[in-house]
Amino acid sequence: MVWRALLLISAGPLSACIKDHAPPPPAPPLHRLRPDLAEPPAEKTPAAGAEETALSAVARLFPGADSARAARSRKPTAVLLFAPPGSRVEDGGLAAVPRLRFQPVLCALRGKLATGARCGEAMPPRVKVRLTEAGGALGLEELELARSTSGFRDDNGGHVYPAPYGPACCMYNTCIGKTVPYYPRPISEDSFLTTDKTILAVWPADAEIGLTVFSPATSEDGTTQEGPWGGSNRDASDGTPARVSQSVVLLGRRYSFLTDGPIGRGLFVDAGRGAKLLLNEVGVREYLLLAGSDLDGDGRPEILVYARWANDYGLQVLANDAPAPVYGFSCGNI
């Protein structure tokens, strides 16, 4: 930067000497000369604008790619942590924002799968983790986290969590579940980290867990009459196709959230032997397949599922081809 500043200063007199030979200034934009000839900017229809807004709102619920460049290897003990997106500040006024908070949701302990607080108990009080891409200018690939050294009191629900424990999530009238939360160490004396996008973290930072991050993708036209959806637990005589909101394939299993169709609504899995219903909670607006992993290396996937409620969220963990979630919590109730 110093060299560049000096160059500009020394170029001042020289530019004055060759002023007569300088190229002419660029012509002003066409729309300033002839407004009638200027090409009008493309306008978005209200429907297109609403679709973009909805997609943006959903996209922030998905984590970014696991693209950190450090070398990785399989570890006998490894933990996957989850940090949900905080609420966005809608205007420029004074607002409270949630501090970035990670909680262990799934782990391999000496090669055996475990969930929730057990994973946090197996971690040291201070750790360095690898992050999925979170956007923003910081560009962090790793982060130092620490357990809380103070307890947590749920005044509304009357619960007390002694350190290092805390709730999995809190709603307006109580807190739910039990976990060992981890917080980033302060990056400066007058700031802390927050996020409006889901972030996943892996400990140890160089652990290979087969993490695959999904996106809110659908089939080409959002419908299908093929594959596992040919079977029926409802009358399909009218030929109504299943409407697929999201569908992913991992380690030979297809997981799909169906909003309607002959086999009903819910999150289904098909491993080549027909579709099976995994999740269909009353009140959940939709299920989002966030990411998959193979922490214990047994060739059977673990899947993180985000449940969207009208007023909050829940998280479910599917693993090892079990017919129901192996772990989960929910702060949504409508």
pLDDT in tens, 282-293: 889 999 999 999
- Partnered with residue 175 across adjacent β-strands are 170
pLDDT at 272: 87
- Percent of the residues in the chain that have a pLDDT greater than 70, as a whole number: 72
- Checking if the pLDDT of 44 tops 60, the result is no
Length of the chain: 334
Band (pLDDT 50/70/90 cuts) for residue 93 is confident
What are 109-162's pLDDT values in tens digits?
A: 999 999 999 999 999 999 999 999 987 667 889 999 999 899 999 998 888 999
Q: Where are the alpha helices (DSSP H) in the chain?
A: 2-17, 30-33, 46-59, 117-121
- Checking if the pLDDT of 88 tops 90, the result is no
- Find, among 37, 333, 25, 283, the residue nearest to 169 by Cα: 333
Average pLDDT score, the chain = 80
- Partnered with residue 127 across adjacent β-strands are 145
CB within 8 A of 55, min separation 6: which ones? Answer: 216
What are 195-219's pLDDT values in tens digits?
A: 889 999 999 999 999 999 998 865 4
- Find, among 200, 197, 203, 58, the residue nearest to 135 by Cα: 197
Sheet of strand 275-279: strand arrangement: 223-224, 242-250, 253-260, 266-270, 275-279
pLDDT at 33: 37
Least confidently predicted of 63-72, 81-90, 248-257: 81-90
Decide if 317 contacts 105 (C-beta within 8 A): yes
